[in-house]
Amino acid sequence: MSSDHKNIVLLIADDLGKYLGCYGCKSLSTPNLDKLAASGTKFDMAFASTASCSGSRSTIYSGLHTHENGQYGLNMIRTHFQTWPHIATLPKLFNHAGYQTGIIGKIHVGTDDVYPWQVREESGTRDTPWVADRCEAFIEQAKAYDRPFHLTVGFIDPHRDTSTRGEFGNHVEQYGHRLKLPDVKPEDVEIPPWISDLPETRQEFVEYYQAISRVDTGVGLILEALDKHGMTDNTLVIFLSDNGPPFINSKTCMYDAGVQLPLMVRKPKAKRGVSNPNFVSFIDLLPTMLDWAGLDTAIRLPNSNSPPRIGHSILPMLENEDVLDGSEWQDHVFGSHTFHELHNYWPTRFMRTQRYKYHRNVAWRLDFPFAGDLYASLSFEAMRNQPKPVMIGNRSMQDYIFRPPEELYDLENDPQELHNMASKEEYQQILLDMRDKLSKWQKETRDLWLYRDGQSVIMLSRYANDGLKVPDRLDFDVEEPGTKGVPKTDLLTPGRSFSINDPPS
């Protein structure tokens, strides 16, 4: 294979969070991932747009938030949540550029024609050496045809085993000699502050650690295959997790435990062992991969009306070990979540800066929903049966289920996002500023969940030319429903026609 080819391997763990040795977990051995971090750049402030599997993967593959690409929730037959046909996705773009594209393992986005990987080996196996073997076969094929390649690897681990309540696929005998699970004791695991330290939690973390070790083994074997075939010096390697750990108060939550995630990038001939402290959003990853391939990061396919991507390539700041200011690099990120499973409707948006985190909870009058696997877990059953007041880590069960329309956290003093400052007088200017910036971002990305007076501003814009004025309040006020004398929002866009049947480009 030509040394001029710019290859890419994208490695995605499922529900990993930051549970790795290189991210400070002292009780877990992850030598291969630690080695990857030491040979490239490890990002400390990388954020998924959403804390749900399908949605997060769709943002990585499209460079668009879920409300821009249509993958509102899990890609399951009975939900019909799927990426819109007009979206320019990673495999479409790299196919167009002449790459051999492939995905091995978990896919979990749809439909096939929207994500047309040329090699598509979907599998639910946790046999990561087998996954590595299939990756090597893919590399050999690209080498034989002398084509640059883009390979995505979707590990099933360390997701829960969905057929059991507390296991993680560890009790399988046919994995083979290349896969050895560590002997982990309940007293050895590190329980994070966002979950309660109970015997059931510790037992599940034992299983979780073993599942993480499978990911580590698979990554090591894939990197060995690249080296064996002489691809290390012309292949960009990216490793990340789609969302936080599969425990209550993390996965499906937009708190940092659910969205602040590992991201490691190994660029050939770049500086090694860098810890980069700058903000990265997962919508930056597709522009980054396009940039590495020498393609226009804003490339649009012929006859495509896919929305413009607003993410940026991280290659120019990859080796930086200093916090860059807003004029050099973004100093904030946004996030968007609407569904997990079909019945888990709870639209929320967030903005995160170095010090502050703002959540806009659109449907705050609804109870915060449980993902099925988290509700059924042994750890949650143990937590809910604690003496009152029932706690989930340091957050009360009441605060977990019942959330206000807005949350504002001073992360410097409250990194666990426990003390909501939205109603505090001294934080009002910060609240208003972040609310305004989030609203402008929602308007820019045509988010149907940009609400004023309890209504979608985007949907109502079609009436702006006819004199509609919408009160500038987040929710409908049933006690004071009138509009006379009430300030009106400037978020409507007069002169812009809108049809619910038009693609949201």
Across the range 488-502, mean pLDDT stands at 71
Query: Quick one: tokens of 361?
Result: 């909870």
User: Which residue's structure tokens are 């973004």?
Assistant: 330
**Structural contact between residues 73 and 52, judged by C-beta atoms closer than 8 angstroms:** yes
Q: How many residues does the chain have?
A: 505
Please check the confidence at residue 96 and state whether its pLDDT lies above 80: yes
Please check the confidence at residue 243 and state whether its pLDDT lies above 50: yes
The span from the CA of 58 to the CA of 44, in Å, is: 22
The span from the CA of 68 to the CA of 87, in Å, is: 9
The span from the CA of 6 to the CA of 144, in Å, is: 16
Q: List pLDDT tens digits, range 398-440.
A: 999 999 999 999 999 999 999 999 999 999 999 999 999 999 9
Q: Where along the chain do its domains lie?
A: 7-337, 450-505
The span from the CA of 24 to the CA of 250, in Å, is: 18
Please check the confidence at residue 306 and state whether its pLDDT lies above 70: yes
Query: Quick one: tokens of 369?
Result: 């929903």
Q: Return the pLDDT at 177.
A: 87
Q: List pLDDT tens digits, range 10-64.
A: 999 999 999 999 999 999 999 999 999 999 999 999 999 999 999 999 999 999 9
Q: Return the pLDDT at 493.
A: 84
Contacts of 396 (CB under 8 A, 6+ apart): 389, 390
Strand 119-122: give its sheet, edge to edge: 119-122, 100-105, 149-154, 7-13, 235-241, 260-266, 41-47, 274-281
Contacts of 14 (CB under 8 A, 6+ apart): 53, 106, 154, 155, 156, 157, 158, 159, 241, 242
Please check the confidence at residue 73 and state whether its pLDDT lies above 80: yes
Confidence of residue 304 (pLDDT cuts 50, 70, 90): confident
Across the range 74-99, mean pLDDT stands at 93
Q: Return the pLDDT at 505.
A: 46
**Structural contact between residues 267 and 27, judged by C-beta atoms closer than 8 angstroms:** no
Percent of the chain residues past pLDDT 70, beyond the cut: 97
Instruction: Find, among 333, 363, 354, the residue nearest to 437 by Cα.
Output: 333
Across the range 335-341, mean pLDDT stands at 96
Does residue 22 carry a catalytic annotation? no
Q: What is the mean pLDDT of the chain?
A: 95
Contacts of 431 (CB under 8 A, 6+ apart): 358, 406, 408, 421, 422
Query: Quick one: tokens of 179?
Result: 């896969």
Fold classification of 7-337 is Alkaline Phosphatase, subunit A (3.40.720)
Q: Where are the beta strands (DSSP E) in 143-230?
A: 149-154
Q: List pLDDT tens digits, range 161-219.
A: 988 999 999 988 778 889 999 999 999 999 999 999 999 999 999 999 999 999 999 99
Assign 286 to helix, strand or coil: helix
| Helix (H) or strand (E) run with residue 6 in it | none
Query: Quick one: tokens of 34?
Result: 């630690």
Q: Return the pLDDT at 502.
A: 57
Q: List pLDDT tens digits, range 246-285.
A: 999 999 999 999 999 999 999 999 999 999 999 999 999 9
Instruction: Find, among 99, 44, 64, 93, the residue nearest to 265 by Cα.
Output: 44
Please check the confidence at residue 500 and state whether its pLDDT lies above 70: no
Choice among 22, 53, 135, 253 that is catalytic: 53
**Structural contact between residues 450 and 456, judged by C-beta atoms closer than 8 angstroms:** yes
Q: Kindly list the distances between the CA atom of residue 326 and the CA atoms of 304, 331, 333, 338, in Å, as whole numbers in the listed order.
A: 32, 5, 12, 29
Q: Return the pLDDT at 240.
A: 98
Q: List pLDDT tens digits, range 106-161.
A: 999 999 999 999 999 999 999 999 999 999 999 999 999 999 999 999 999 999 99
- pTM for the whole thing? 0.96
Q: Return the CA Rg of the chain.
A: 23
**DSSP at 322:** S
Pairing mode of beta strands 149-154, 100-105: parallel
Total Cβ atoms within 10 A of residue 261: 25
End-to-end CA distance of the chain: 39
Query: Quick one: tokens of 487?
Result: 């300030």
Please check the confidence at residue 488 and state whether its pLDDT lies above 50: yes
